[in-house]
Amino acid sequence: MKNIKVLGTGCSNCKTTVRLIDEIAKENGVEIQLEKVEEIRDIMSYGVMATPGVVIDGEVVHSGGVPSKEKIQKWFTAK
């Protein structure tokens, strides 16, 4: 199971990112634990200055703007 955190204050881009990650994980049959992190202090602790940010298993894999479907797909198919 992948532990995924979406870092952002609740803007439409952050909500879209959460929705896309959830949809693509389900399409690929990948079990995830998806968490939304909205506290600025917590977001900054990851060193993310532009939201939305995405953290997978403790590693920042994206920040600034909605990730493409192709990029999200790679997160679930990479070994």
Catalytic residue, candidates 3, 9, 11, 49: 11
Q: What is the pLDDT of residue 1?
A: 84
**Contacts for 36-39 with beta carbons within 8 Å, 24 or more apart?**
36/5, 36/6, 36/8, 36/10, 37/5, 37/6, 37/7, 37/8, 38/8, 38/9, 38/10
Please, what are the domains in the chain? Answer: 2-77 (3.40.30.10)
| Global pTM value | 0.93
Indicate if 30 belongs to the active site. no
Q: Among candidates 62, 53, 63, which has minimal Cα distance to 75? A: 62
Catalytic residue, candidates 6, 7, 14, 55: 14
pLDDT digits (tens, 9 = 90+) for 10-64: 899 999 999 999 999 999 999 999 999 999 999 999 999 999 999 999 999 999 9
Indicate if 63 belongs to the active site. no
